Structure 1
C-alpha cells in the first residue's frame, strides 16, 4: 500500500478517531489520586472490539499498565507508549468549559488531558487498531504500552514494565506533546531535592540576639544554591549540531527568552515552609528545589556543587532527593525510529521537520536506560498544557495519527 493510501485510510476513519479521543477526555483520570480503572476498562474494551487482546499489570492499587501486541514476535520490534493519567483539573471555576466534556468546538477538542496526552494516546491506540484491522504485512511486531502514572514520576509505569521485562523493543515512539514539526529526541536531566534547615527557637522579640532563625539561614542557602547556574557544561562534540538546531527552534518557533536553556543548569525554588508563628524564632525551614541538568554536566556534579556551597555556610542542614533523578539523555537523529517518524512528518505535513532537545524530562529516559532508542511526538496546543482550558487542534490529532501509522509501517517493514 502506497503512503497516500495509508493517509487516506486514516482520513476516511477520522470520525472514529475523534470520537475515541473525545471519549478518553470524558473519563476523569487525574493524578493524584491516580485511579485509572475506568479509562483502562474503556481502552481494553475498545481494543477487544477490534480483536486485540490486552495484558493488564497492576503494580499498585487501581494503577493499570496495559500491554497489547500486533504483528510478529520476530523481526524489528516497535513500542508505542502513552500515559492515561492527567494532572488535576484544579480550580474548576477558572475553566471556560467542562474539563471532562470532550467537546469539539472551533476546530479544537476540549478537556483536561487534550494535549497531555489523551489526544496522542488516542492516536497510538487508533493506529494500532488500523494495523490489525487492515492486516498490514509487517516483518516485525508492535507493542502498545499504556501506563498509569507518568504525571507523578512514573514509578509504577514505564520503569516497572521495563524492569519486569514486559516491554521490549528496537525503538519507541511516545506520544507526548510536541511541536507539530519538531519531535523531541533528547532531554535535560533532572535533579530535585528537599533542603531542611534547622535553627534554634526563641521568643520573637529577642531575634536576632537569641535563637537561630532557620528561615533566614534557608534564604542564605537558597542564594548559594542558585549559583549552580554558573556551572559551564562541556558539550559533547557529537551533540553540538543538535544543540544548534534546538536553539534555532527556540529563537524561531518557541520563545526567544529561553535561549541558552539547553546549556544552563536551571534552578527553581518551588516551595518554602518554615516557622510556627510571627513571634517565634523559626527552628525549621523546608525548601523544595527543582534543578534541570544540561548535556555536558552530570547530576552528581550539580549535587556536589550545591553541597560544597552549603558546607561553606554556618548552618545546620540535610538534603533529601525528590522525584525524578536523571542525567541528560538523547537518541541520535539518524536512528531508524527517529528517521521513520521525522520522514513521515514531512510526508504528512509537506513541510521540513527535524528533532530537537527538550528542556524538561519524561518517560523517554527510562527507555534509553534500557538501550531502546526513543523520541516523543504528539498533538498539542502547547500553551494550554497543565493549565486551564486545555485543548488540542482536531487536524493535528488526525495528522499525528497518520504519522504514527506510516512510521510503524516503515519501521516494521524493513
Structure 2
C-alpha cells in the first residue's frame, strides 16, 4: 500500500462530524485490515458512528486514530475539500492533516511490519467522534471494555520532531442567567438584565485567567520546550497558555425583545486548565460567584493529564523520530485536548505523534506533505519493531 494513496482514499470518503457518520470510512479500513490478515470488528457507539478495532486487543502497543473530520464548505478552497488530490508535494483535502494522514501511516506501517515480521505486538483502533468529544468513539470503547490499558500512540498531527505526552484539562459548562424584566426605557434604574449579569461574569473569568499555576521542574522543562517549537500565536508570548486558565465564551444568546430588560441569557464557556488546576474546585468557585438565580450546568470535565516522559513508550518514540530525522527528539505538551485524556484516565499510557500541516488544521486548504507521511510511516514501523523485540506478542 502507498501511504499517500490511502490518505487520499480516506479524504474522499466524507465523514464530517457533525453528523458523524463514519460507516463508509470504517468499512474501507476494515477491508484493508482484512487484506493484511487482521481480523477486525466495526462497532457503533450510536447509529452510523462507527469504530474499527482489531479483534486481538491484548497487545503491548495500540495504534489509534480518528476517522471523523470537522465540516468543510467548498467556498474558499483552492481544491475541493473532498477531492483527495495528490500532487508532487501534498495530499490535499479535509482530514488530510487531522487526521486521515496519520491513520494512513498507521495502516501502511502495520502492513510493512506484517510483511517483514509476520504477526506483530500491535492492536488497532480507528475511532469516530473525536471531533465531538469521543462519546461514541474512544469513550464508548473504554466503557464497553472493547480496548484494554496498554501503551497507545494516537496518530494526531504534531510537530515533526516532538511527540505530545500531555494535554491541558478541559472544562465546558453552561450558565443560565435569570433577570427581572422591565421596560427598556427604565433600565438600569429599574430591572435586572440577565445579559448584564453575563457581562459581569466575564470579570470573574478574567480573574481566573490571571492566576498563574506553578509547575514541577519536569513540567517546566516540557513547557519551555513546547513553547520553543510552537508556531502558533503570531509572535505572542505563549507562556500563559500553558501556565494559566484560558477561556472562551463561545456561545451566548439572550433577551426577548430590544425594548425589554432581558429575563434570560444563556452562556456556554470553554475553559482549558493547566496542570495543578482542579476542574471540580474551579466549578465550585464559579457556582459560588454567580447570582443565586443563575444555574451552572457542567458539560465536559477533565483535569490536565500527562504520560511519564521517561516511559518506554515515550523514549522509544523519541528514539525512532531521532533516527529517522537525524535530530534529537524531545517530548512536548499541548494546550488543546484529545482522546488521550480519556485513555489516560482509563489507565492507558497515551501519547500523540503524527503527520500534518499544523498551520491549516481545521482551516481552508488543509493538506499534508507526502514526504512527511513517509517519514511518519517509517517511525511507526520502527516503533512496532522496538516493541516486537522487547515484548514479542
Same fold flag (TM > 0.5): yes
Find the aligned partners of 1:281 and 1:252 in 2 and give their Cα distance.
41
Kept in 1: contact 2:149–2:346 (CA 8 A): no
State which of 77, 80, 85 in structure 2 corresponds to 1:95.
77
Q: Which whole-Å deviations, capped at 9, do the CAs of 1:250-286 have from their partners, x for residues lacking one? A: 4899855322311111111111111122112111111
- Which residue number in structure 2 is paired with residue 209 of structure 1? 189
- Which residue number in structure 2 is paired with residue 120 of structure 1? 102
- Which residue number in structure 1 is paired with residue 33 of structure 2? 47
Kept in 2: contact 1:177–1:377 (CA 8 A): yes
- Which residue number in structure 2 is paired with residue 66 of structure 1? 52
Find the aligned partners of 2:388 and 2:137 in 1 and give their Cα distance.
25
- Which residue number in structure 1 is paired with residue 134 of structure 2? 154
- 1:362-377 to structure 2, matched below 5 A, reads 362-377=338-353
Q: How far off is 1:169 after superposition?
A: 4.2
Q: Which whole-Å deviations, capped at 9, do the CAs of 1:214-251 have from their partners, x for residues lacking one? A: 11111011222221112232423443332332233348
- SS of 2:322's partner is helix
Q: 1:210 to 1:353 in 2, by over 3 A?
A: same
State which of 158, 164, 167 in structure 1 corresponds to 2:144.
164
Aligned length: 390
Find the aligned partners of 2:224 and 2:107 in 1 and give their Cα distance.
34
- 1:403-414 to structure 2, matched below 5 A, reads 403-414=379-390
State which of 286, 290, 293 in structure 1 corresponds to 2:266.
286
- Which residue number in structure 1 is paired with residue 253 of structure 2? 273
Find the aligned partners of 2:389 and 2:79 in 1 and give their Cα distance.
44
- Which residue number in structure 2 is paired with residue 7 of structure 1? none
Q: Which whole-Å deviations, capped at 9, do the CAs of 1:281-316 have from their partners, x for residues lacking one? A: 1111111111111012111222233233325xxx62
Q: Does 2:60 align with 1:77?
A: yes
Q: Does 2:101 align with 1:105?
A: no
- Which residue number in structure 2 is paired with residue 10 of structure 1? none
Q: How far off is 1:209 after superposition?
A: 3.4
Find the aligned partners of 1:253 and 1:260 in 2 and give their Cα distance.
12
Kept in 2: contact 1:188–1:295 (CA 8 A): yes
- Which residue number in structure 2 is paired with residue 33 of structure 1? 19
Kept in 2: contact 1:348–1:399 (CA 8 A): yes
Kept in 1: contact 2:149–2:347 (CA 8 A): no
Q: Which whole-Å deviations, capped at 9, do the CAs of 1:89-144 have from their partners, x for residues lacking one? A: 1x321211110011013511100001100000111122222222333465xx2111
- 1:264-343 to structure 2, matched below 5 A, reads 264-310=244-290, 316-322=293-299, 324-343=300-319
Structure 2: where are the runs of 5+ without partners?
Answer: none
- Which residue number in structure 2 is paired with residue 244 of structure 1? 224
Find the aligned partners of 1:300 and 1:377 in 2 and give their Cα distance.
30
Find the aligned partners of 2:340 and 2:388 in 1 and give their Cα distance.
20
Kept in 2: contact 1:188–1:293 (CA 8 A): yes
TM-score between the two structures when normalised by the length of structure 1: 0.89
Find the aligned partners of 2:125 and 2:164 in 1 and give their Cα distance.
19
- SS of 1:413's partner is helix
User: Relative to structure 2, which stretch is displaced further, 292-301 or 247-256?
Assistant: 247-256
TM-score between the two structures when normalised by the length of structure 2: 0.94
- SS of 1:29's partner is coil
Find the aligned partners of 1:286 and 1:372 in 2 and give their Cα distance.
37
- Which residue number in structure 1 is paired with residue 5 of structure 2? 19
